[in-house]
Chain A
Amino acid sequence: MMDWINFTPLQSLLGGLLIGLATAFLWLLNGRIAGISGITAGTFISFGPERLWRLAFVLGLILSSWVWLLFVPLPEVQVTGNYWLLAIAGLLVGFGARLGSGCTSGHGICGLSRLSGRSLVATVTFMTVAVVTVFVMRHVV
C-alpha cells in the first residue's frame, strides 16, 4: 500500500536533481566520480592534491546541514537510538561499500548513469538485500 502522507515527490525529485548537479559538476570540473564511500575512504589513504580535493568534498558534505540552517530549519530526522545497531550497521556499510567498490552514490547514481553493468549488478544486489532486511526487521522479527 502507498504511503501518501509521507510521499514527497517534488522535494525528492528536486533533491535528486541537486545530487545529480553535484555529481555532474564534480565530473565536468574535476573529472572525478562522486562516490561518497570512495572519496571519504580516500581522505585517509591518498596524498597531496588527491587528498586535498577529497577533504574539501567531505567538508562540504559535513557542513551542508549548517548552510541549510542559514535559510530554513532542518527537516525532521528519525533514527534508531540503539547504539549497538548503529555500530553494527556502520561497520557493515563501511566494510561492504569499500569491498564492493561503491555505495548508493558511486554505483547507484554514477554507475547507473555511466551505463555500467557492474554498477547495475551492485545496485540491484544492495537494494534487494536492503529490502529483504527491512522486511525481516519489520514483518518477521
Chain B
Amino acid sequence: MRQHWFLSASAFVCGLLFGLGLLLAGMANPAKVLGFLDIAGLWDPSLALVMVGGIVVAFIAFTLSKKMPHSLLQAKFNWPEATAVTSPLLIGSTLFGLGWGLVGLCPGPALVLAGSGALEGLMFVVFMLIGFRLADLVQARLS
C-alpha cells in the first residue's frame, strides 16, 4: 500500500519537472513551436535542442535500467513490447502531425497551458480528451 503512495509522489514530481522543462524550453509557447516547424520561413531551431537534451538524458536512464531487475521503487519495468509499424501508427501519427502543425500545441504543453488558466489551452485540452476517447472507441470497434 505504502509503495503506491511513493510511486504517486514520484510521478507527481516527474510531472512537475516535465512541465517546468517544457516552460523553460519554450515548448509551452505555440508561436515558438510553429517557428521551429516553419523551415521555409524564419527558422528557429531551438526545439531541436530540446529533443537532444531530452533524448541524451533519457537514453542514459534506459541503458542503466537494463542491468536492474526492477525499478528503484520495486516496480516492474513496463518496456513497450510493440515493434510493428502498423496502419493505426501511421494514420494516427499523420493526424497528430496535422493537429500539431495547425496551432503548435501537443499534449504536454497543452496541459501546462490549460493549468495556467489560459482559455485557449483549456479549449484545446477538452477537445484533445474527446479525441482520446474517440480513438479508443474506434480501436475497440476495429479489434
Contacts and interface: CB of A to CB of B under 8 A. Distances in A.
Interface of A: 1-3, 6-9, 11-34, 36-37, 40-41, 44-45, 49, 52-68, 74-81, 83, 85-101, 103-105, 107-114, 116-118, 121-123, 125-135, 137-139
A10 B88 CA distance: 37
Lowest 10 CB-CB distances: which A-B pairs, in order? A94-B131, A16-B53, A15-B25, A64-B19, A100-B92, A60-B15, A20-B57, A133-B101, A129-B97, A92-B99
Nearest to A83: B123
Interface range for B: 35 or more
A45 B133 CA distance: 10
30 contacts: A2-B42, A11-B24, A18-B17, A20-B54, A23-B54, A24-B60, A26-B10, A26-B14, A36-B106, A40-B111, A65-B23, A68-B20, A75-B26, A77-B29, A77-B31, A77-B113, A79-B103, A80-B30, A80-B120, A86-B127, A88-B127, A93-B100, A94-B130, A98-B132, A103-B107, A109-B51, A113-B54, A114-B62, A114-B80, A138-B38
B116 interface: yes
Contact of B111 (A2, A12, A36, A55): A36
Given A23-B18, A77-B28, A97-B107, 12 more contacts: A9-B49, A16-B25, A17-B56, A19-B53, A30-B14, A32-B11, A44-B132, A88-B99, A94-B107, A101-B88, A104-B107, A126-B96
Contacts of A98: 92, 131-132, 135-136, 139
Main secondary structure of the interface of A (DSSP, over half): helix
Given A16-B52, A90-B123, A90-B128, A23 B57 contact: yes
Interface in B4-63: 4, 7-32, 34-35, 37-47, 49-62
- Of A65, A101, A128, the most chain B CB neighbours within 10 A belong to A65
B61 A91 contact: no
Given A24-B61, A99-B92, A89 B105 contact: yes
Given A7-B46, A15-B21, A75-B28, A130 B101 contact: yes
